[in-house]
Amino acid sequence: MIITRPTVHHVDVFATGPLTGNGLGVFLDTEYWPAAAMQRLTREMRQFESVFLSEVEARGATARVFTVDEELPFAGHPVLGAAAVLHRTRAASIESCSWTLKLPHGHISVKTRNLGNCYRCEMDQGLPLFGGAVAAAALHPILSSLGLNVADMVAGLTAQVVSTGLPYLIVPLRPEALARAAISGLALEALLATVGAKFVLLLDVDGREMRTWDNLGQVEDVATGSAAGPAATYLCSVGLVQAAVPIDLAQGRFAGRPSRIAVVQDPAGRLLVSGEVWPVSHGVLDFDPRAIEP
What pLDDT, in 10s, does the model give residues 211-256?
A: 999 999 999 999 999 999 999 999 999 999 988 899 999 999 999 9
- Tens-place pLDDT, residues 9-68: 999 999 999 999 999 999 999 999 999 999 999 999 988 899 999 999 999 999 999 999
The closest of 48, 57, 41, 36 to 8, measured between CA atoms, is 41
Please provide the average confidence, as pLDDT, over all residues in the chain: 95
**pLDDT at residue 5 tops 70:** no
Is the fold of 7-126+277-291 the same as that of 129-256? yes
- Spacing of C-alpha 108 from chain mean position: 13
Ordered by start, the domain boundaries in the chain are: 7-126+277-291, 129-256
CATH topology of domain 129-256: Diaminopimelate Epimerase; Chain A, domain 1 (3.10.310)
Query: Thinking of the domain 7-126+277-291, which architecture would CATH place it in?
Result: Roll (3.10)
Provide the whole-model pTM.
Answer: 0.93
| One-letter amino acid of 101 | L
pLDDT at position 4: 55
pLDDT band at 132 (very low <50, low <70, confident <90, very high): confident
